[in-house]
Amino acid sequence: AWTKHQVSGFKDKDGFEEEVVRHVETTLARSMFNCDESAAYSACSLAFRDRLILEWNRTQQRQTFADSKRVYYLSLEFLMGRALDNAMLNIGQKDVAKSGLADLGFRIEDIIEQEHDAALGNGGLGRLAACFLDSLASLNYPAWGYGLRYRYGIFKQEIIDGYQVEVPDYWLDFNPWEFPRHDVNVDVQFYGTVHKSTDENGKTHAHWEGGETVKAVAYDVPIPGYATPSTNNLRLWSSKAASGEFDFQKFNSGDYESSVADQQRAETISAVLYPNDNLERGKELRIKQQYFWVAASLYDIVRRFKKTKRAWKEFPEQVAIQLNDTHPTLAIVELQRILIDLEGLEWDEAWNIVVNTFGYTNHTVLPEALEKWSVGLFQHLLPRHLQIIYDINLFFLQQVERAFPNDRDLLSRVSIIEESQTKMVRMAYLAIVGSHKVNGVAELHSDLIRTTIFKDFVLIFGPDKFTNVTNGVTPRRWLHQANPRLSELIASKADGHGFLKDLTLLNKIELFVDDKEFRKEWAEIKYANKVRLAKHIKESAGVTVNPSALFDVQVKRIHEYKRQQMNIFGVIHRYLTLKALSPEERKKYLPRVSIFGGKAAPGYWMAKQIIHLINSVGTVVNNDEDIGDLLKVVFLEDYNVSKAEIIIPASDISEHISTAGTEASGTSNMKFVLNGGLIIGTCDGANIEITREIGENNIFLFGNLAEDVEDLRHNHTYGAHTVDPDLAKVFEAIEKGTFGEPQDFAGMITAVRDHGDFYLVSDDFHSYVETHALVDEAYRNQEEWITKCITSVARMGFFSSDRCINEYAEGIWNIEPLRTEEA
C-alpha cells in the first residue's frame, strides 16, 4: 500500500534503461559501446538522482508552504557511506535497476561498488548524524542537516609491513549526489576589531569590522526517506576566497603570487576533516572551520526565518537547532550577536530566544575530548564573540551567585572561563548555559554526565534540563541494505517490510524461533554472509579463513579506552594455550577467526602500536602449522561504512569491551545484534540497554562496573598492583620476541604494568578470557546459539534511530512530522 506514497520512480525497467542510456550518451558524452562499470555507475546514479530532485523540490515547497517548525542538525561530521544503493532502496526500485542493469550487461553489485564512500566523519558521532538524516526524512520531519564539504574525508588506511599508513581521501572527482548552489553564498568574517558607539538614548552599540572575509558556498545533498516522497536537504559549505577567483587589485599590481596564496588560504578552511576522534588539540584552523560553518548556517537559517515576516520572539517556535557535540557551540554566541548587534534586540529578549532555540547533545565524558579554546585565540580570531561570551558568563555567574550566595568554589567550578595559566573557554559549559536541553546518548552515559562532569549544572538548572536519548541506527541501511536476505526472511514472517518503518514489529519473528525451516534459512544466510566476508578477507588481507569457524569481530576506531589491546592480548593467550596442548587435545578446540578493523588517529602513537601488534600476531599465528584453522587473526584495512556493510552481517560474536563508563553509547553494538550476531561486552554504554531488551542469557557480559572504576584506579596508584597471571604470560611471550621485536610493543605493556593501567586491562583480563570460553561452549551448541540470535533480533525494535528521532522531536525540538500530500 505504501507504493503510492513514495518518490515517483521509473515506470518499469525499460523506462530505467532509457534514462541510463540517455545519460551515458548525453550527460557523459559516451557511447554505450564503451560504457564501462564506472560510466554505468555514473549514469545509473544520474538517473536515480533525477527522480529524487523532483520530490526534493516538492518537499521543500511543502515545508515552506506549511510554515511549520523546522529542525536544523548542526554536525561537523556526516559519515554517509554510499548513496546509490540507499537511494534505490529508499525509493523502492532496486529490483527495477537490477534487471535493467542486467539487460545492459552489468551486475548491480559491481555497479554499486564503483561508488566512493562519502566519509565526512570519524566514527560513531558522524555515522549517528547520517542515521538521523535517514530517520528524519523517513518520518517526514521538516529537517535540514548543516555541515562542511571537506575536500578530503577521513584518510584511507593502508597497512604496509604491519603498520598503518595514511593516504589522502580525495573523493570529489565525480560526485553526482551534490548540487553546487553558487547563488547561495555567505561572507564570513574573521579577525579585525570591535568599536563601540553610543546612540542618542545613551545605548551602546558594538560594531565588528572583520579583518578577513571568506566566502561560504552551499552544496546541497538530497536525503531520500524510505517509502515516502519526503526528500530532505543536507547543506554542506565549501570555502572560497571572497573576492572571486583572484584579487584583481593584487593581480593588476603584479602581486600574482600573493593573490593565489590568499585564495588557497581561504580554501584551506574546508579542505580536510580532522582525523582525531576523542582528542581535542586546540588548533586555530579547527576553530576557524567551526565558526565558518556556524556563521554560514545561521545566516541561512535566519534568512529563511525572516522571509516569514514573523516577530523575533516567534523564532523558537519556528526553529530548533541541535548541536552535535560542542563543535557548533559558537552558534549560540553567533545568534546572540545577530540579535543584539545586527537586529537591535535587548540582551534579555535575545538570550531568551537563543536558549529556547538550542539543544546540546554530549557524546563523551573523556576529559581529553572536551573542547576548550584559549581566550587569546578567541580575542584574535573572533573579538566580538569573546565579549559576548564574557557577558553570557557574567549574567550566568550572577544568577548562580543569587541562588548560591558566597559559594566562590562553585562559581569558579562552573565559570565558562577557566581561570588557568592560559585562560580557556569551556565550550561544553557554554553549550549547557545556552541550551534549553542537554542530553546524553545512552542511559548510563546520561547518568554519568548528571553525576560527574556536569553535576554542578544539575544543581543550578534543576534536573529537567538534563535528559537521555538513547542512540539508534537506521534499519534501512543496517538491515535491509547490508543484509538483504535476512531482511527478506524477516519480511516473510513479519507480514512484509513494515518492520523497516516500525522496528518493534521485529517481535513477530519470535513466534518462529522453533520453526525448523525458518531456523535453517537463518543459518544459511549467516553462512552465506560469512562466505562473502571470507572472500573479502582473502582478497584484501591474503588470509584464507574457514567460514565454519566462529567469526569474532572488533571493528571501530582504535583507542585505548575501546581496548583492542585487551582483545589481542586475549588472542595471544588463546594461541599460547593451543600451543601448549597436544595435537589430540587441540582438536577439541573450536576454530576461531579474530577479525579487527579500524583507523588510528595519525598522531596517536599507542593506537598505531596496537595495530602493529595485531598484524604481527597475525603473521605468526596464521603461518603456524600446529594451529591451522584453529585460530586466524586478520586486520582488515581501511574500515569504513561500506566495509561495515559486509563485515557486520557476517559476525558471530562482536566485541564491545570498553572500560566501563568510557564508551558513551556505541552504535555498532546495535548493528551487530540486529544482524543476528551476539555480543561480548562490558556493562558500558548502550550494552546495558541492549541486555535489558534482549535478555541477559543472550549476551556475554564481563568485567568491572563503572561504579568501581575510580577505586580500582586509585588502588593501581597507591596500592599493590600486580598484573593478572595469565596476562603476565602474554607479556612474557611478547617480550621473548614471539611476535617480532619486543621493543615495538613495549609501550602497550608498560601502560598496563608500570603506568597505572588506566583502562583496567589487567583487572578485566581474567573475566574476559573466561567469558570467551563461555562463548566457545555456547557456539558448540548451534541449536541454542541460533535461538539466542533469533530471539535477540526479535527484541531489537527499540534501537531504531526512528524511535530516537521521535524522542528528540517530542522531548527537545517540539516538532511534528509534516503530512505528505497522499497521507
Active site residue 562: yes
> CB 262 → ligand 26V: shortest distance, Å?
26
Write out the binding residues for ligand 26V, residues 287-326 only, by CB under 6 A: 325
> CB 688 → ligand 26V: shortest distance, Å?
13
- Whichever of 600 and 734 has its CB closer to ligand 26V, that residue is 600
Q: Tell me how long the chain is.
A: 823
- Whichever of 607 and 634 has its CB closer to ligand 26V, that residue is 607
Q: How many whole angstroms separate alpha carbon 672 and alpha carbon 572? A: 25
The residue within the footprint of ligand 26V, chosen from 6, 59, 86, 122 (CB under 6 A), is 122
Q: How many whole angstroms separate alpha carbon 72 and alpha carbon 224? A: 17
Structure-block grid coordinates of residue 420? 588557568
Q: What beta strand segments (E) does 556-608 contain?
A: 592-597
The residue within the footprint of ligand 26V, chosen from 81, 570, 666, 681 (CB under 6 A), is 666
Sheet holding 437-440, edge to edge: 179-190, 212-224, 231-241, 143-148, 70-74, 319-324, 358-361, 437-440, 466-468
Q: Which long-range contacts (CB under 8 A, 24 or more apart) does 697-702 make?
A: 697/788, 698/788, 698/791, 698/792, 699/792, 700/653, 700/771, 700/774, 700/775, 700/778, 701/771, 702/764, 702/767, 702/768, 702/770, 702/771
- Whichever of 570 and 666 has its CB closer to ligand 26V, that residue is 666
Instruction: Candidates 33-41, 118-126, 484-492, 638-646: pick the segment binding ligand 26V (CB under 6 A).
Output: 118-126
Helical axes 37-66 vs 94-103, angle rounded to 10° = 150
Q: Which residue has the cell 565524558?
A: 365
Contact between 690 and ligand 26V (CB under 6 A)?
no
Contact between 124 and ligand 26V (CB under 6 A)?
yes
Helix (H, G, I), strand (E, B) or coil at 445: helix
Instruction: Candidates 81-89, 139-147, 276-284, 631-639: pick the segment binding ligand 26V (CB under 6 A).
Output: 276-284
Active site residue 557: yes
> CB 275 → ligand 26V: shortest distance, Å?
7
Catalytic residue among 127, 363, 436, 559: 363
- Whichever of 269 and 727 has its CB closer to ligand 26V, that residue is 269
Instruction: Candidates 31-39, 119-127, 227-235, 343-351: pick the segment binding ligand 26V (CB under 6 A).
Output: 119-127
The residue within the footprint of ligand 26V, chosen from 328, 685, 797, 817 (CB under 6 A), is 685
> CB 280 → ligand 26V: shortest distance, Å?
4
Report angle CA 509, 511, 517 to the nearest 5 degrees: 75
Instruction: Candidates 29-37, 123-131, 246-254, 571-579: pick the segment binding ligand 26V (CB under 6 A).
Output: 123-131
Phi, psi of 468 (to 5 degrees): -115, 140
Active site residue 579: no
Catalytic residue among 557, 574, 656, 795: 557
DSSP state of 431: H
Q: How many whole angstroms separate alpha carbon 331 and alpha carbon 395? A: 19
Rg (CA), the chain: 27
| Ordered DSSP codes for 108-148 | HHHHHTTSPPEEES-SHHHHHHHHHHHHHHHTT--EEEEEE
Count, in order, helices (H) and strands (E) of the chain. Answer: 33, 24
Instruction: Candidates 116-124, 157-165, 732-740, 757-765: pick the segment binding ligand 26V (CB under 6 A).
Output: 116-124
The residue within the footprint of ligand 26V, chosen from 83, 97, 128, 479 (CB under 6 A), is 128
How many of the chain's residues bind ligand 26V (CB under 6 A)? 23
The residue within the footprint of ligand 26V, chosen from 111, 441, 709, 775 (CB under 6 A), is 441
Contact between 135 and ligand 26V (CB under 6 A)?
no
- Whichever of 142 and 475 has its CB closer to ligand 26V, that residue is 475
DSSP state of 295: H
Q: Which residue has the cell 612474557?
A: 732
Write out the binding residues for ligand 26V, residues 357-386 only, by CB under 6 A: 363-364, 369
The residue within the footprint of ligand 26V, chosen from 115, 169, 247, 277 (CB under 6 A), is 277
> CB 440 → ligand 26V: shortest distance, Å?
9
| Ordered DSSP codes for 46-57 | HHHHHHHHHHHH
CA distances from 288 to 75, 330, 378, 492, 529 (A): 15, 11, 10, 52, 44
Contact between 278 and ligand 26V (CB under 6 A)?
yes
Active site residue 363: yes
> CB 276 → ligand 26V: shortest distance, Å?
4
Active site residue 327: no
The answer to whether 655 and 769 have CB atoms below 8 angstroms apart is: no
- Whichever of 450 and 632 has its CB closer to ligand 26V, that residue is 450
Give residue number: closest CB to ligand 26V: 124
Query: Which of 58, 75, 224, 220 lies closest to 137 in space, CA to CA?
Result: 224
Residue 308: burial class (beta carbons within 10 Å; 0-12, 13-18, 19+): exposed
The residue within the footprint of ligand 26V, chosen from 529, 665, 704, 792 (CB under 6 A), is 665
Q: Spell out, one character per residue from 471 to 510, where the chain touches ligand 26V: x when CB under 6 A holds, - when not.
A: x---------------------------------------
Structure-block grid coordinates of residue 457? 549544572
Catalytic residue among 151, 372, 497, 556: 556
Contacts of 763 (CB under 8 A, 6+ apart): 703, 704, 712, 724, 757
Catalytic residue among 667, 682, 771, 795: 667
Contact positions vs ligand 26V (CB under 6 A): 122-125, 128, 274, 276-280, 325, 363-364, 369, 441, 471, 663-667, 685
Active site residues: 363, 556-557, 562, 667, 671
